Amino acid sequence: MTFWLNGAFREETRAIDVADRGFLLGDGVFETILLVDGVPAFWDAHRARLDDALEALRFPVRSDAFALTAARELAARARADAGAGVLRLTVARGPAGRGLAPPVPAEAAPTLLMTAQAMAPYPDEPAALVVSKVRRSSASLSSRFKTATYLDNLMARGDAAAAGADDALMLNERGRVVCASAANVFVLKDDATLATPPVGEGALPGTVRALLLARGAEAGFAVREAALAPAELSGRALILTNSLMGVRPAVIGGVAAPTRADALLSRLQMWYRAVLTEDVEQRARQL
Amino acid sequence: MTFWLNGAFREETRAIDVADRGFLLGDGVFETILLVDGVPAFWDAHRARLDDALEALRFPVRSDAFALTAARELAARARADAGAGVLRLTVARGPAGRGLAPPVPAEAAPTLLMTAQAMAPYPDEPAALVVSKVRRSSASLSSRFKTATYLDNLMARGDAAAAGADDALMLNERGRVVCASAANVFVLKDDATLATPPVGEGALPGTVRALLLARGAEAGFAVREAALAPAELSGRALILTNSLMGVRPAVIGGVAAPTRADALLSRLQMWYRAVLTEDVEQRARQL
């Protein structure tokens, strides 16, 4: 496997320091980015979110440490440049002395890792959801950003797997729906209105989520943030969104979404794919 | 630095796989153990808690992978066998494919890491505490066990450092006191009663905490679990406990504990040191 670590392409995978706080304490952040024929999709949005996380966690590095050209070359070297692939940017605090205090600035040596791999397409069927018992802490930085402190999400996904489902909805400490283990959730409130929980409820500010909120009107939907009780999902069409799956219909508790919603959600998916294609084509021209 | 990794003593610190879920997703657990002249203190209690965590997270390995003799030899090689030292046992999920699902059993290759280092003694003064804005999620496995998903604790400690304090009290989602960033908290309710928040509130089941609950009567205290509102700490003597500091007086908001409590807490500290010494001497005879 070829990967990129702190500026160099590498093959020997035993490369992370045993004292890296990313490994010892979950002290890191990451982005998962869709590759379309080796071109990172929505690169600017991912970089902006990564910068927000790096600033919030007081990392002494910013997203410009990951060059688009290096990402593109990595995709080719990792044979993830045909069809769909996944690019992961990881920033960990790096090696440090014992204890919880981060290294002083003069000794900080963050770990910058980029990996790429091919990805099988998501199935066409709706994702089957269950409700996880794991509660998401609305005010935690690990809810607000994609951090290496991911155990709650892993446990929620485990709940789903144990129930034979694809993913699990997570509720926050007030019992309200916030997101799935690694996806945002939207509910079709009526034929033209989609609602998704606010970031303040503990929802990750996903890149596809932000796109739908900003531009969903182009697909004929009023898209807004709203606190959601679990009961409000019942009998309604749902979608999951994230960078890799894009817009994916979902059903909860094995109950199929109303059929009339299918055409509406297809329209949204088509619009999303067009926006994605436009972004990737524009990016490809920079390369 | 000498460390122990999956059964072998090693020196080259770049030894963790870039695909290790401990590094990428905080999918790991650990124990921090006091070394007294190179002998791990309360070894059985730490092993039992580690086994609880490994079982809860469905790791295909148990604590007997860490041999006492290897720990002792590591302490000597790492020059942590004179005076106080720290032994850290870390178990991470190991390398795995993309996504949140853990590796299938046949492909599971957990990472077992043991490190040792000398430790400066804790100061005699009480620890100065502030209340963190970070909320602890009472039902999370990352509250119930020492996991590599540690960002909330790091942020709480950061709150303390920013305020010039030694540590930060964390409240749970109901606003009740649960513990410090890496220590349990007890409040002296009256001259003979100590109370500490229940595990169900989000408190880590610390080894020193368990010892005080089980045997504090030997030091003249009734020690019990009780939900604690922040106001109940006001004007009362506090202690922090963990494996490394043992029993340490603490003050919140710069307000000194009542003087009459000093003698009571000294008695508790003396008792604790005697129990610790007895455990270590007994362990040393096994080596």
- The tens place of each residue's pLDDT in chain B, 287 residues long, gives 899 999 999 999 999 999 999 999 999 999 999 999 999 999 999 999 999 999 999 999 999 999 999 999 999 999 999 999 999 999 999 999 999 999 998 999 999 999 999 999 998 889 999 999 999 999 899 999 999 999 999 999 999 999 999 999 999 999 999 999 999 999 999 989 999 999 999 999 999 999 999 999 999 999 999 999 999 998 899 999 999 999 999 998 766 656 778 888 999 999 999 999 999 999 999 88
Q: Residue B243's domain is classified under what CATH number?
A: 3.20.10.10
| Residues B94 and B132 occupy one common structural domain | no
Assigned domain for A172 exists: yes
B119 touches chain A (CB under 8 A): yes
Q: Would you say B261 and B188 are in contact if contact means Cβ atoms under 8 Å apart?
A: yes
A5, A25, A135: residue with CB nearest B148? A25
Residue with tokens 């400066």: B120
Closest-approach residue (CA) in chain B for A159: B101
Provide the whole-model pTM.
0.96
| Arithmetic mean of pLDDT, A125-147 | 93
Residues from chain B that touch A16, judged by Cβ atoms under 8 A, are 14-18, 20, 23
pLDDT at A256 over 70: no
Q: Where are the beta strands (DSSP E) in A56-206?
A: 84-92, 111-118, 127-136, 167-172, 177-180, 184-190, 193-196
| Residues A183 and A107 occupy one common structural domain | no
Its ipTM equals: 0.96
| Domain boundary pick from A89, A118, A147 | A118
CA atoms within 13 A on the CB side of B5: 19
Query: Could you tell me which residues are beta bridge partners of residue B8?
Result: B5
A23, A100, A135: residue with CB nearest B22? A23
| Residues A167 and A273 occupy one common structural domain | yes
- C-alpha of A47 from chain center: 13
| Residues A112 and A131 occupy one common structural domain | no
Q: Within a 10 A sphere around the Cβ of B178, how many other Cβ atoms?
A: 28
Residues from chain A that touch B179, judged by Cβ atoms under 8 A, are none
A2 touches chain B (CB under 8 A): no
pLDDT at A258 over 70: no
Assigned domain for A285 exists: no
The shares of helix, strand and coil residues in chain A, as percent rounded to the nearest 5, are 35, 30, 35
Q: What tokens appear for B55 in the block?
A: 């079982």
| Residues A96 and A194 occupy one common structural domain | no
A15 touches chain B (CB under 8 A): yes
The letter for the amino acid at A119 is M
Domains held by chain A: number: 2
| Residues B52 and B98 occupy one common structural domain | yes
The residues, any chain, with a CB within 8 Å of residue A261's CB and separated by 6 or more, are: A188, A236, A237
pLDDT of amino acid A139: 87
- CA B206, B145, A54: angle at the middle one, nearest 5? 115
Q: Residue A70's domain is classified under what CATH number?
A: 3.30.470.10
Give the DSSP H or E segment for A56.
helix A43-56
Q: Do B137 and A141 touch (CB under 8 A)?
A: no
pLDDT of amino acid A257: 58
Residue with tokens 């709650």: A152
Q: Where are the beta strands (DSSP E) in B43-158?
A: 84-92, 111-118, 127-136
| Arithmetic mean of pLDDT, A149-178 | 95
| Residues A136 and A223 occupy one common structural domain | yes
A13 touches chain B (CB under 8 A): yes
| Domain boundary pick from B86, B118, B150 | B118
pLDDT at A287 over 90: no
| Residues B109 and B132 occupy one common structural domain | no
Assigned domain for B285 exists: no
Domain span including residue B113: 3-118
A16, A88, A149: residue with CB nearest B151? A149
Q: What strand order describes the sheet that includes B222-225?
A: B177-180, B167-172, B127-136, B246-252, B238-242, B184-190, B193-196, B222-225
CA distance B148 to chain A (A): 4
Give the DSSP H or E segment for A24.
helix A21-25
What is the percent of chain A with per-residue pLDDT over 70, rounded to a whole number?
A: 98
Q: Where are the beta strands (DSSP E) in A176-276?
A: 177-180, 184-190, 193-196, 222-225, 238-242, 246-252
Instruction: Give the residue with greater pLDDT, A47 vs B255.
Output: A47
Residues from chain A that touch B142, judged by Cβ atoms under 8 A, are 149, 151-152
Picking from B177, B184, B171, B181, the residue whose alpha carbon sits closest to that of residue B227 is B177
Assigned domain for A283 exists: no
pLDDT at A124 over 90: no
A200 touches chain B (CB under 8 A): no
Assigned domain for B154 exists: yes
| Residues B113 and B131 occupy one common structural domain | no
Assigned domain for B64 exists: yes
B77 touches chain A (CB under 8 A): no
| Residues A67 and A147 occupy one common structural domain | no
Dihedral sign (CA B77, B79, B83, B84):
negative
The letter for the amino acid at A225 is E
Assigned domain for A286 exists: no
pLDDT of amino acid A235: 85
For chain A, how long is the longest CA-to-CA vector? 60
Assigned domain for B283 exists: no
Dihedral sign (CA A190, A194, A200, A204):
positive
Radius of gyration (C-alpha) of chain A in whole angstroms: 19
Picking from B76, B179, B192, B91, the residue whose alpha carbon sits closest to that of residue B134 is B179
| Arithmetic mean of pLDDT, A116-138 | 93
| Residues B210 and B268 occupy one common structural domain | yes
CA distance A74 to A80: 8
- Confidence band of A260 (pLDDT split at 50, 70, 90): confident
| Residues A82 and A159 occupy one common structural domain | no
Radius of gyration (C-alpha) of chain B in whole angstroms: 19
A25, A98, A181: residue with CB nearest B100? A181
DSSP states along B168-216: EEEEETTS-EEEESSSEEEEEEETTEEEE--GGGT----HHHHHHHHHG
CA distance B143 to B181: 11
| Domain boundary pick from A66, A101, A118 | A118
Picking from A156, A240, A259, the residue whose alpha carbon sits closest to that of residue A196 is A240
The letter for the amino acid at B33 is I
pLDDT of amino acid B78: 94
Picking from A83, A24, A235, the residue whose alpha carbon sits closest to that of residue B89 is A24
pLDDT of amino acid B112: 98
In terms of Cβ atoms closer than 10 Å to its own Cβ (0-12, 13-18, 19+), residue B244 is buried
CA distance B89 to A18: 12
| Arithmetic mean of pLDDT, A180-200 | 96
